[in-house]
Amino acid sequence: MPRASRGPHLYIKRRDDGGALWYIRDGDKRTSTGCSQSDVVGARAALERYLARTAKPRFGDGDPHNVGIAAVIALYAQDRAPKVARPHEVARRLGAIETYFGGMTVAEVTPSTCEAYARQRVSPAAARRELEDLQAALNHAWRSRKLAVPVPVALPPKSPARERWLTRDEAARLIAAACGWRFDTDGSVLDRAGPRNPHVARFVLLGLYTGTRHDAILSLGFRAHVGGGWADLDRGLLYRRAAGEVETNKRRPPAPLTPRLMAHLRRWAAMPMAGLYIVTYDGSRLERMKRAWGTVRANAGLDDAVTPHVLRHTCATWLMQEGVGMFEAGRFLGMTAQMVEKVYGHHHPEFLRGAAAALGHRKAHRQ
């Protein structure tokens, strides 16, 4: 007669190095808690979160005092999270929310608990994005008639817009550093003994001349595919989204390719080892541009504020400096004209020139 299942429970698993971790055993499934053998309290908390996550969500009469946050997150994860553009990122953020709020009821989501959550996160921006997911989960539960009333979430203030962008000289140094050159912080050449990172050079050129976001660049292919956008080298167009991909607030419209970038893309596509994706490392697609980016940035003599996203800021800034209209620049970048004007408009050569000219003319007239 088969032995009855104990249900999800904790057990110790030894490692080859002599250490040991707590794991959760649920039938044939094994899940690491990430807790060492001495962290019994942490392991038990991980088991409680696991039970809350895997249990069928219960809402009762929808009274926020009787509904657990874990049930709200589980409902959202089942119904909505798989349908978003990047479900793995949503799952990571929901995990952070569940770790902190999982033992609370919906009624305990107050300004004070939200502020306490934001204080213990790595950055206000990360806390805000995670709390936005909590708000989305609560809204979904209310619209699904699982909660009797809507529950607001107190969000941290938005971070100020980044001001960092690259000059033409800094952009050239970044590309050269990806090809092995090394520079001092003042821009002077040190040597050509640095590592070569041609995949970073490709990433930089795509970012500078298309303004495409980090994740979208890494999913670009030389031909149409289901995993991301692609470069149509016959028509000279960049399709940032895969066919049928869900459009989000971070829009990815098609855009024409510049002649300079087209020349690079044709050369890369003709290489013997060219695969599906444009930016690869050892023939494999990259999930994030992180370690190699840090190396190239340091060898270019640039500061830590130069992140991959700065390439998008740089593209937008250069468009403004060249006098491109707000609407056209927005269409190219996937932004509204209002957003372009708000964040980058002061770089435009005509920025408030009319007002300044009017004041100057009036002063001259009075004299």
Verify that 146 and 206 share a domain, yes or no.
no
Co-location of 65 and 1 in the same domain: no
CATH of the domain at 241: 1.10.443.10
Q: Do 45 and 64 share a domain, yes or no? A: no
Q: What is the pLDDT of residue 4?
A: 46
Phi, psi of 176 (to 5 degrees): -65, -40
Task: Band the pLDDT of 2: cuts 50, 70, 90.
Answer: very low
Closest CA to 348 of 327, 318, 328: 318
Among 60-69, 76-85, 231-240, 288-297, where is mean pLDDT lowest?
A: 76-85
Note the pLDDT tens digit of each residue in 127-170: 999 999 999 999 999 999 999 999 999 999 887 766 799 999 99
**Could you tell me if 80 and 190 lie in one domain?**
no
CA-CA distance, 301 to 299, in Å (whole number)?
Answer: 5
**Do 119 and 199 sit in the same domain of this protein?**
no
> Does 252 share its domain with 335?
yes
Domain membership flag for residue 320: yes
Q: Is residue 135 part of a domain?
A: yes
| Domain of residue 114, residue span | 60-159
Measuring CA to CA, which residue among 98, 124, 114, 123 is closest to residue 151?
A: 114
This prediction's pTM: 0.68
pLDDT, residue 55, reads 65
Tally of domains within the chain: 3
| Same domain (yes/no): 239, 120 | no
- What percentage of the chain exceeds 90 in pLDDT? 53
Same domain, 154 and 182: no
Same domain, residue pair 110 and 176: no
Instruction: Specify whether 77 is located in the same domain as 182.
Output: no
164 in Cβ contact with 310 (< 8 Å) = yes
Instruction: Indicate the burial class of 148 (C-beta count within 10 angstroms; 0-12, 13-18, 19 or more).
Output: middle
Last-in-domain residue among 159, 182, 201: 159
**Integer CA distances (angstroms), 174 to 184, 199, 282, 308, 315, in order:** 12, 12, 21, 11, 15
Domain presence at residue 353: no
